[in-house]
Amino acid sequence: MKTLFKYKIIVLLLLSCFANSLYAEQKINIETNDQKVVLSIGSIHYFFTQQGKMWALSHIQAGNQKIVSPINKSESFFSRSGEASELTIIENNSKEIKICFSGFENYPSAKVFYTIKADDSLPRLNVRIEGIEEPTCVYRSFKEHAKPHGAWITRGEMVADAEEREVFIDGSGPFVFGHSTIGNNDIAYVWQAKVKPNVPQGKTQQKSDTYFKSGIKTDNNGQSFTYWQLRIGKNEPKEYAMIWDYNLGGRVHDVFEKYYSDVVDSQVDFKSYKRNYNATRAIEKMPVRLSSPESFVPGYGWVMHEYYPNGQEAAYPFATECGIQTAALLSYEGLATNRNWEKNFGLYIIDRLPMWSDSNQGYFVKRRGGYTRWGYSNDYKNPFPFQEGGNWGTAEYIYLMARIGNDKTLKDRAISLMKHDIEVKLDLDNFFFPPCWNPDSEKLNDHRDDWFITAGLGYCAVVCGEILYPETQEKNILKLQIN
């Protein structure tokens, strides 16, 4: 089975390499004259204008609609930059357009490069700044309104515009997805900051020294505008990319639905992988931890279990919930995007985890009534330490992955986890379902999750009604009658 999955993943990843090169190219263009330069990628246009021999960003336009402008003319390139006296067109062909502004009033040695590429799967404007250690770039909504509102998400944070809160960019997911509504105008955006990797031992957070924020400013007439700001730290790369869009639907998830998959995919250059690519290394290369927008939300997306044996340093375990949730998120997104490499890669990860055992050497152990939980983590010094737990969430994850990937063996094992809970653990006479379970004594020993004792009955009802009863069609083996 493992060999088969490895073959499937190699083939699918290689096909993805070629599929990536078949993406429709973005339409790019540059328009120049004595008064203006317009960079266009897709339907988004960046207008730079010249007055008195000095250049500044005028506005950003979606189709024919002006949506974004600089916070003010003298700071259109970065804060306190002043206007630019020089414009250089570096590249101008059907594949790439790159321009450079220089000769800034307050920073004579600084340069700002803007690049768009036809083979980019996203309508991104790439920005690189030279000659300044800690630039801050600020943009604002072109229009104003009495009550603008909006929100954005980056890894680990959800922030409303009204909060005016600044959040660091996490190197493991250096993206910001957001939208801001100003009257009848809903502005959607994606920022991708380039930051250095920062991976402390035993931590999943990769805090950078680059920060994003949004806010709302109100004038004396009661009219307000929204602004967006990226502040780049001294030791971070002075590069970022941005996507602007208009009236996608008024929700942050509208932005996710249009751009999330391609943004995550863009972190990996499929075309760089050769035919001798080792699929086992894909777990390290693919951005699997970004496979769902919900993984940004604290306590809602999957989390990395960090197991510290005997209070010592992290032992980098195979943590079952981390692995299973990552695989599940890949499978779910594969279902939504219809990308087979995600569906199959989720199953490949599951196949690599030491999940099933008859001798206490897996996360689940075979007992009377089927498989049940044995532990949650494993490392090289402490193989499969016993820890009581439950099957409820994991059984559903595994079942849904099996259905998406058409894996009968995996589905049967998920059903086995559910049957064990219904036939062995469930006590309908006393309306009792133990959240934790000792698979050796076959009774509850651990009371740390007592809140689930009665709530678990609802779980059993859902599992029986939606999954177990339709799958088994064996009414006599179930203790819970379906109405």
User: Which residue type sits at 168?
Assistant: F
Q: What angle do CA 120, 154, 332 make, to 5 degrees?
A: 75
Average pLDDT estimate for 331-354: 78
344 compared with 305, residue with greater pLDDT: 344
Least confident of 108-117, 154-163, 196-205: 196-205
Per-residue pLDDT for 370 more than 70?
A: yes
Least confident of 8-12, 167-171, 176-180, 398-402: 8-12
168 compared with 329, residue with greater pLDDT: 168
Convert the pLDDT of each residue in 47-56 to its tens digit.
Answer: 999 998 999 9
What CA–CA distance (Å, rounded) separates 113 from 122? 18
Place 266 in a pLDDT band, splitting at 50, 70 and 90. confident
Q: Which two tokens stand for residue 289?
A: 């931890």
Check residue 95 and give its pLDDT.
94
Q: Are 52 and 74 in contact (CB under 8 A)?
A: no
H helix or E strand, kind and range, residue 14: helix 2-21
Place 200 in a pLDDT band, splitting at 50, 70 and 90. low
Least confident of 45-54, 102-111, 293-302, 371-380: 293-302
Q: Measured between alpha carbons, how far is residue 215 from residues 135, 143, 193, 218, 248 in Å?
A: 18, 14, 19, 10, 21
Q: What is the dihedral of CA 337, 340, 343, 344, to 10 degrees?
A: -170
Per-residue pLDDT for 329 more than 60?
A: yes
Per-residue pLDDT for 349 more than 90?
A: no
Per-residue pLDDT for 478 more than 60?
A: no
Least confident of 70-74, 159-163, 171-175, 288-292: 288-292
Place 270 in a pLDDT band, splitting at 50, 70 and 90. low
Q: Exposure pattern of 50-63 as b/e (b: 16+ CB <10 Å)?
A: beeebbbbbbbbbe
Place 354 in a pLDDT band, splitting at 50, 70 and 90. confident
Per-residue pLDDT for 300 more than 50?
A: no
Q: Are 147 and 53 in contact (CB under 8 A)?
A: no
Average pLDDT estimate for 121-131: 95
Q: Which residues contact 135 (CB under 8 A, 6 or more apart)?
A: 78, 79, 129, 232, 238
What CA–CA distance (Å, rounded) separates 277 from 467? 38
Per-residue pLDDT for 5 more than 60?
A: no
| Strands 136-141 and 125-130, sheet pairing | unpaired
User: Mean pLDDT highest for which of 142-156, 310-324, 342-356, 448-462?
Assistant: 142-156
Proportion of the chain above pLDDT 90, given as a percent: 43
Q: Measured between alpha carbons, how far is residue 56 from residues 10, 400, 435 in Å?
A: 49, 53, 63
Environment class of residue 475 by beta-carbon count within 10 Å: exposed (0-12), middle (13-18) or buried (19+)?
A: exposed
Average pLDDT estimate for 36-41: 96
Place 285 in a pLDDT band, splitting at 50, 70 and 90. very low
Check residue 2 and give its pLDDT.
36
121 compared with 246, residue with greater pLDDT: 246
303 compared with 156, residue with greater pLDDT: 156
Convert the pLDDT of each residue in 68-93 to its tens digit.
Answer: 999 999 999 999 999 999 999 999 99
Check residue 257 and give its pLDDT.
83
Per-residue pLDDT for 302 more than 50?
A: no
| pLDDT, the chain, mean | 80
